[in-house]
């Protein structure tokens, strides 16, 4: 029995434990402890992450009709698994205390929640451990259904929406696998990879294209992104934190596996698209850039905090894919590192919003404001999270985005670069709106007695915030894992050091950047305190052009936060994707109506008439 088996058994145990503990008070805590156990088991495999071991195989093998199913972990799987289990542990920790109690009181079932979360983790671990394409598909289905279960806890309607997408995705993947099997005669990774070099461009187009569409649905690549936002936003808070952090990245994992490991990005460069100057890789890069731009700008229009974050979750996926398809050492490192970074800040942001919802009962940005004085730690968590999400120094999001920018400059793709920057700017605008409308501005009368979230919710947030800052300060901590992933999937390996990257033409040393930034803040603090003593005043002691303010009149600016911008770009939002989806749905509706019409109502006279006409026609002719 290898370590991998122990991990999977432990994960299975988590599901059983969650089932067994039911709605007991200790349910959440006990599950959290077992997640921690999984994390320890993963840490014992950390040789994978540091490139000391190349793979750990599972002792379990199944043979069905001469087809051998097997499972194994390599650096890529380990990297994703580590993020998954850590995210699950923190989400479970976050949910274990006060949140679970409130959830139970509202009529939710903690048993279902814990089981769904544990099943998700189990499914993801099985997926990540897959050793060939068939076990990948099995893992994929496990993850899809587990995700459905978690989403269904929030809103059945949106979960069904997801399910339709997931089934279409599964069918597409199945088709791609069949094509692969027909062309190659095997589903083993190394055999497929060998055979892929000999396949003609058309087959690669079909196989690669179908795989990317199938896995891209999970990752919410444009134009298959419509299911994600509403479903994630409706999921119970800690579940949304987990899903937002890592669930969609399973699609990225599979895409990396197929495109990088099996087909190879360099192969994509040799596949031109007729009548354009683009290659298949450029097409993917543009899909990634549009996945950054459109969802980010859509996020800008949201006034529900959870939906805003979920839209950003889609957008950030684009940076990862973009970095990976650029495929040089910097870009792919940026893309992979962004998986980790995104998981940290997205989780903390969802947690912070959940804490606000837990205390105030709403995530509507027009109904909040001024909560900093009441929930300072949640504010801190959100602040660190949004700096990470916007990709500004000194948080970790900056490092991964810097790597992607740098690789695009080296690659000489100004328009892709511009696209990523538009995404970043849009993100800055929308996250400021998020933090301003929640924590800054005027405190509402009804929120004056609000308290900070309980310790069980605050601690995981603080832990994640510390991780975001530390990995921004010493990006080498994560870049080590990323470098072994690059080696494992056959990408050029990044030369890194603890503070970032040394490069002849423009490196990055975050230790210096962050230290100088902190020193700057320290000096500015001294300058600040050199001035006269200040006195804090009540929020109603405020300039209002001579008006006397009262607490029951709102003196806050939150709705339609960017009117000037929307005046210009507002008409550009045409919800084309939504309409496309609706068109597709109504077309299917129509076809099925037609079919059921044929099936249900027999029209013997009509059939007979048709037959007679056809026979007469034949005879006459």
- The interface with another protein within residues 382-401 (CB under 8 A) comprises 383, 387, 390-393, 398
- Centre a 10 Å sphere on the Cβ of residue 157 and count the other Cβ atoms it contains: 11
Task: Give the nearest distance from C-beta 378 to another protein in angstroms.
Answer: 10
Task: Please tell me whether residue 435 binds another protein under the rule CB under 8 A.
Answer: yes
Q: Which is nearer to another protein, 267 or 444 (CB)?
A: 444
Torsion of CA 553, 559, 562, 563, to 10 degrees: -90
Q: What is the DSSP letter of 69?
A: E
Nearest to 100 by CA among 193, 26, 187, 196: 26
Task: Give the nearest distance from C-beta 472 to another protein in angstroms.
Answer: 12
Task: Give the nearest distance from C-beta 309 to another protein in angstroms.
Answer: 18
Task: Please tell me whether residue 497 binds another protein under the rule CB under 8 A.
Answer: no
Contact status, residue 140 vs residue 257, Cβ threshold 8 Å: no
Task: Give the nearest distance from C-beta 328 to another protein in angstroms.
Answer: 15
- Choosing from 178, 445, 613, 615, the residue that interacts with another protein (CB under 8 A) is 445
Task: Please tell me whether residue 402 binds another protein under the rule CB under 8 A.
Answer: yes
The first and second tokens of residue 366, run together, are: 């027009």
Task: Give the nearest distance from C-beta 383 to another protein in angstroms.
Answer: 8
Task: Please tell me whether residue 551 binds another protein under the rule CB under 8 A.
Answer: yes
Q: Which is nearer to another protein, 123 or 441 (CB)?
A: 441
Q: Which is nearer to another protein, 200 or 451 (CB)?
A: 451
Q: Which is nearer to another protein, 402 or 474 (CB)?
A: 402
Tell me which residues in 353-382 interact with another protein (CB under 8 A): 370, 372-374, 376-377, 379
In what helix (H) or strand (E) does residue 96 lie, and over which residues does it extend?
Answer: helix 75-96
Residue 469, Cα to own-chain centre: how many angstroms?
Answer: 20
Task: Please tell me whether residue 498 binds another protein under the rule CB under 8 A.
Answer: no
Q: Which is nearer to another protein, 548 or 617 (CB)?
A: 548
Q: What is the DSSP letter of 481?
A: H
Task: Please tell me whether residue 492 binds another protein under the rule CB under 8 A.
Answer: no
- Choosing from 57, 104, 111, 436, the residue that interacts with another protein (CB under 8 A) is 436
Task: Give the nearest distance from C-beta 573 to another protein in angstroms.
Answer: 15
Contact stretch for another protein (CB under 8 A) within 16-24, 90-98, 211-219, 433-441: 433-441
Q: What pairs with residue 188 in β-bridges? A: 132
Task: Give the nearest distance from C-beta 442 to another protein in angstroms.
Answer: 4
Q: Which is nearer to another protein, 14 or 556 (CB)?
A: 556
- Centre a 10 Å sphere on the Cβ of residue 301 and count the other Cβ atoms it contains: 18
Task: Please tell me whether residue 522 binds another protein under the rule CB under 8 A.
Answer: yes
Q: What are the distances in angstroms from CA 411 to CA 267, 303, 329, 415?
A: 17, 37, 11, 11
Task: Please tell me whether residue 442 binds another protein under the rule CB under 8 A.
Answer: yes
Rounded-to-integer distance, Cα 91 and Cα 88, Å: 5
Rounded-to-integer distance, Cα 181 and Cα 178, Å: 5
Q: Which is nearer to another protein, 205 or 290 (CB)?
A: 290
Task: Please tell me whether residue 441 binds another protein under the rule CB under 8 A.
Answer: yes
Task: Mention every residue, 6+ apart, whose C-beta is less than 8 A from residue 262.
Answer: 189, 192, 193, 196
Number of residues that bind another protein (CB under 8 A): 94
Task: Mention every residue, 6+ apart, whose C-beta is less than 8 A from residue 336.
Answer: 79, 256, 320, 323, 324, 482, 485, 486
Task: Give the nearest distance from C-beta 453 to another protein in angstroms.
Answer: 9
Task: Give the nearest distance from C-beta 422 to another protein in angstroms.
Answer: 7
- Choosing from 538, 599, 600, 601, the residue that interacts with another protein (CB under 8 A) is 538
Task: Give the nearest distance from C-beta 530 to another protein in angstroms.
Answer: 6
Going by DSSP bridges, is the β-strand pair 500-501/496-497 parallel, antiparallel, or unpaired?
A: antiparallel
Task: Give the nearest distance from C-beta 286 to another protein in angstroms.
Answer: 17
Q: What pairs with residue 56 in β-bridges? A: 73
Task: Give the nearest distance from C-beta 60 to another protein in angstroms.
Answer: 47
Rounded-to-integer distance, Cα 77 and Cα 73, Å: 5
136-143: long-range contacts (C-beta < 8 A, 24 or more apart)?
136/254, 136/257, 137/170, 137/173, 137/174, 137/177, 138/69, 140/170, 140/173, 140/250, 140/254, 141/170, 143/218, 143/247, 143/250
Task: Give the nearest distance from C-beta 496 to another protein in angstroms.
Answer: 14
HEC secondary structure over 71-88: EEECHHHHHHHHHHHHHH
Rounded-to-integer distance, Cα 145 and Cα 121, Å: 12
Tell me which residues in 301-340 interact with another protein (CB under 8 A): none
Task: Please tell me whether residue 508 binds another protein under the rule CB under 8 A.
Answer: yes
Task: Please tell me whether residue 409 binds another protein under the rule CB under 8 A.
Answer: yes
Rounded-to-integer distance, Cα 462 and Cα 365, Å: 23
Task: Please tell me whether residue 417 binds another protein under the rule CB under 8 A.
Answer: yes
The first and second tokens of residue 493, run together, are: 């390996």
Task: Please tell me whether residue 520 binds another protein under the rule CB under 8 A.
Answer: yes
Q: Which is nearer to another protein, 121 or 514 (CB)?
A: 514
x-or-dash pattern for another protein, window 557-596, by CB under 8 A? xx--xxxxx-xxx---------------------------
Task: Please tell me whether residue 541 binds another protein under the rule CB under 8 A.
Answer: yes
- Centre a 10 Å sphere on the Cβ of residue 141 and count the other Cβ atoms it contains: 18
- Centre a 10 Å sphere on the Cβ of residue 11 and count the other Cβ atoms it contains: 26
The first and second tokens of residue 225, run together, are: 């992104």
Contact stretch for another protein (CB under 8 A) within 153-161, 343-351, 475-483, 556-564: 556-564
Q: What is the DSSP letter of 185?
A: S
Q: Which is nearer to another protein, 214 or 369 (CB)?
A: 369
Task: Give the nearest distance from C-beta 420 to another protein in angstroms.
Answer: 9
Q: Which is nearer to another protein, 181 or 562 (CB)?
A: 562
């Amino acid at each position: 029995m290898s370590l991998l088996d122990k991990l999977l058994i432990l994960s299975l145990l988590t599901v059983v434990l969650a089932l067994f503990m039911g709605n007991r008070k200790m349910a959440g805590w006990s599950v959290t402890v077992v997640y921690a156990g999984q994390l320890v088991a993963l840490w014992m495999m950390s040789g994978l992450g540091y490139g000391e071991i190349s793979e750990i195989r599972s002792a379990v093998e199944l043979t069905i009709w001469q087809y051998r199913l097997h499972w194994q972990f390599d650096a890529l799987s380990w990297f994703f698994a580590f993020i998954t289990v850590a995210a699950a542990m923190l989400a479970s920790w976050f949910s274990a205390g006060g949140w679970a109690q409130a959830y139970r009181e509202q009529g939710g079932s903690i048993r279902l929640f814990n089981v769904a979360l544990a099943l998700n983790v189990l499914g993801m671990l099985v997926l990540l451990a897959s050793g060939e394409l068939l076990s990948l598909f099995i893992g994929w289905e496990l993850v899809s259904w587990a995700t459905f279960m978690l989403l269904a806890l929030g809103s059945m309607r949106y979960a069904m929406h997801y399910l339709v997408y997931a089934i279409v995705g599964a069918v597409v993947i199945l088709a791609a696998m069949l094509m692969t099997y027909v062309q190659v005669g095997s589903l083993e990774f190394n055999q497929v990879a060998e055979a892929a070099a000999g396949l003609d461009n058309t087959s690669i187009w079909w196989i690669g294209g179908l795989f990317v569409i199938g896995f891209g649905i999970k990752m919410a690549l444009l134009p298959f992104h419509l299911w994600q936002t509403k479903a994630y936003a409706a999921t119970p808070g800690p579940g949304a934190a987990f899903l937002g952090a890592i669930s969609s990245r399973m699609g990225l994992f599979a895409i990396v596996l197929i495109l990088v490991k099996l087909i190879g990005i360099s192969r994509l460069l040799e596949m031109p698209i007729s009548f354009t100057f683009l290659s298949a890789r450029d097409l993917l890069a543009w899909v990634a850039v549009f996945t950054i731009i459109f969802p980010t700008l859509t996020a800008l229009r949201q006034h529900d905090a959870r939906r805003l974050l979920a839209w950003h979750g889609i957008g950030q996926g684009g940076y990862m894919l973009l970095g990976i398809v650029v495929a040089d050492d910097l870009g792919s490192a940026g893309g992979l590192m962004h998986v980790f970074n995104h998981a940290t800040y997205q989780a903390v942001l969802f947690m912070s919003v959940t804490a606000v919802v837990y205390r105030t009962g709403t995530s509507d940005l027009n109904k909040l404001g001024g909560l900093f004085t009441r929930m300072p730690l949640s504010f801190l968590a959100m602040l660190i999270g949004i700096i990470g999400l916007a990709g500004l120094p000194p948080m970790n999001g900056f490092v991964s985005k810097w790597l992607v920018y740098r690789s695009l400059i080296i690659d000489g793709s100004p328009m892709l670069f511009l696209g990523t920057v538009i995404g970043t700017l849009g993100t800055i605008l929308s996250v400021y709106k998020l933090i301003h409308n929640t924590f800054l501005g005027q405190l509402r009368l009804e929120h004056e007695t609000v308290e900070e979230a309980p310790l069980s919710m605050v601690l995981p947030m603080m832990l994640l915030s510390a991780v975001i800052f530390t990995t921004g300060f010493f990006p080498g901590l994560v870049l080590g894992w990323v470098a072994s992933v690059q080696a494992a999937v056959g990408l050029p390996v990044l030369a890194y050091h603890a503070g970032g990257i040394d490069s002849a033409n423009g490196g990055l040393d975050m230790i210096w950047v962050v230290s100088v930034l902190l020193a700057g803040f320290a000096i500015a603090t001294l300058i600040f305190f050199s001035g006269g003593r200040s006195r804090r005043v009540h929020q109603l002691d405020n300039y209002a052009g001579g008006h006397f303010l009262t607490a029951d009149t709102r003196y806050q600016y939150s709705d339609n936060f960017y009117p000037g911008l929307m005046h210009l770009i507002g008409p550009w939002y045409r919800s084309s994707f939504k309409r496309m989806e609706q068109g597709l749905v109504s077309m299917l509706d129509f076809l099925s109506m037609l079919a059921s019409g044929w099936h249900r109502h027999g029209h013997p006279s009509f059939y007979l008439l048709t037959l007679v006409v056809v026979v007469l026609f034949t005879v006459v002719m």
